[in-house]
Structure 1
């Protein structure tokens, strides 16, 4: 995969690698969106535009994903957070930052704050990955996950057939209908071109990267909100039996409560009507409310 010109944003050279960054808004702490696995910057474009009415905001693609240059995957959390730090400096995005991380991006946001606490004004974690999700999951879930990871390791990621590509395109088109027309088709085509990234990023997630998160310094004393998506999610419902998914979600709820408690000003909010993958589209009001609340807290203490 090589980078191509994104429909929005531009490339910045970071150590010889071109990374995509799109910037909007101006005043206040800049909100920096960190995408989840299998997603990319412009998946968050609609909520980005609404946050830009409140404060400066940035979307970017990690190396290996979206419109950024390839990288050898998987990578460490240290590499990912070092890369983001270098990109923000090169693009002259002033800190401190309000990091808005979704899923694995939420874990990376938390890792950034723990490594570089003076550069973070606040944290908004959208149904974030937690390093102990697997070890504290129900036994049946651990066994099923081990099976899935083993299958992914054993099976070569073969090219999609033309029929599979068209089927995927047809499935994505209604979902992305709400995106601006100049972005919609390029975004769908980029997803089709980069579908392997999700499996590749996950390869070391439950051992090496999880251990990195466990060894990191404490979460700094910054305003923190964790949103837990407890509603129906199509992908999750496909992967897990209904009764087991309920157990997994209850474990997630407990871990997210512990994440919120890591910071003195941490808060945990439950969304019963949003799923994991697209909570920022299903409940943009909840995301905007959280951003607003964090900005008010930051302004009171600055």
Structure 2
């Protein structure tokens, strides 16, 4: 028996030593990888905003300017990159990285909806893109759009919500489902994983394995370490941002398009309980329909065969919505 416990002790010590070696190797790998990212040339430009630099990617010339607001996502402007390649250059398309994400510096401003809207507005002014703006917000980006419209309605000519998050979703969900969908990312684990090189492996295939996403799949893991802290910080402020956004209940007469995912299997991988899954589908559909009340000029478009990331699952729907909104605005002049 004594020999058995001695053997167990040796195995335990061996496993501890192996874990320590793996952590050291991961830490070194992460530091080398971060140093290599200095060789990556940013695909866009920079502008100074409140004493820090924000990165943006612009295509096209002339107005209006289509402004993309990304979801709660470390990929920043990369989520719109493939769509921008398909849009006409007769008008301007503009995506950017929020403070601390990808190539944008974090700065010192708080991660509040109001301040993020102010940063975006100043960035647009500094980059000299033509007004008016068409705001395109996906998921959490749809919540952030509310703050921009509320603060700068005179600059906004159109709004497109892409399967937008509902800031007052608690009204639509049972307590059990609300807790499930709002539990967030495991911050402690992800910070640990980010330090020891695991996070970049976890997010290696974040975009589909298709040719049009080759660039995004090469950049995303390399720069994830820069985005992770900022995204987790946004998560820390998510509840207060949603609470403030829920108070913004009207866009007035600004034209509004609501793109809604309609694949009935879109929650199969995330919700296993059939009753909760059905509740989520019905509640999400109700939230999306209620967005029609935000504007006196609103329309909903269902995105077939699409999950939450319509910009990846069915980008043509997003492209068409943008082109339709641009035509609508140009014909109003």
TM-score band by shorter chain is 0.7 to 0.9
C-alpha displacement at 1:298, in angstroms?
0.9
Is this contact kept in 1: 2:71–2:139, CA < 8 A? yes
Shift of 1:72: 6.0
- 2-side partners of 1:137 and 1:257: how far apart? 15
Which residue is 2:151 aligned to?
A: 115
Structure 1 residues 166 and 248 mapped into 2: Cα distance closer, same or farther (>3 Å)? same
Distance 1:162 1:90, change over 3 A: closer
Residue 252 of structure 1: how far off its partner (Å): 1.6
- 1:5-44 to structure 2, matched below 5 A, reads 6-38=41-73, 39-44=75-80
What is the CA deviation profile of residues 57-100 of structure 1, one whole-angstrom value per residue up to 9, with x for unaligned ones?
Answer: 11111102121002469711001100000100111112110111
Larger radius of gyration: 2
Q: Name 1:296's counterpart in structure 2.
A: 327
Match of 1:130 among 151, 157, 166: 166
2:21 maps to none
The aligned counterpart of 1:179 is 213
Q: Deviations over 1:193-218 (max 9, x none)?
A: 42344332122222x11221133362
1:261 is displaced (CA, Å) by 2.6
Aligned: 1:270 with 2:302: yes
Q: 2:291 aligns with which of 259, 263, 270?
A: 259
Matches within 5 A, 1:86-165: 86-145=122-181, 148-149=183-184, 152=186, 157-160=191-194, 161-162=196-197, 165=200
Query: Is 2:241 aligned against 1:209?
Result: yes
| TM superposition shift of 1:157 | 2.8
The reply on whether 1:194 has 2:230 as its aligned counterpart is: no
Q: Tell me the residue number matched to 2:279.
A: 247
Gapped runs of 5+ residues in structure 2? Answer: 1-33
The question of whether the paired residues in 1 share the 8 Å contact of 2:83 and 2:315 is answered with yes
Q: Give the CA deviation at 1:32.
A: 0.7
Q: Does the 8 Å contact 1:9/1:23 carry over to 2?
A: yes
Q: Is the 8 A contact 2:109 2:115 kept in 1?
A: no
My pick for the range that moved more, 157-166 or 249-258, is 157-166
- Alignment equivalent of 2:310, drawn from 279, 284, 298: 279
SS at match of 2:145: helix
SS at match of 1:195: helix
Closer/same/farther in 2, CA of residues 7 and 218 from structure 1, 3 Å limit: same
Give me the CA root mean square deviation. 2.9
Structure 2 counterpart of 1:222, from 254, 271, 281: 254
Query: Can you give the 5+ residue segments of structure 1 that lack an aligned partner in the other structure?
Result: none
Residues 255, 180 of structure 1: alpha-carbon distance in 2 compared, 3 angstrom cutoff: same
> SS at the partner of 1:99?
strand
**TM-score, with normalisation over the residues of structure 1?**
0.86
C-alpha separation in 2, matches of 1:192 and 1:232: 34
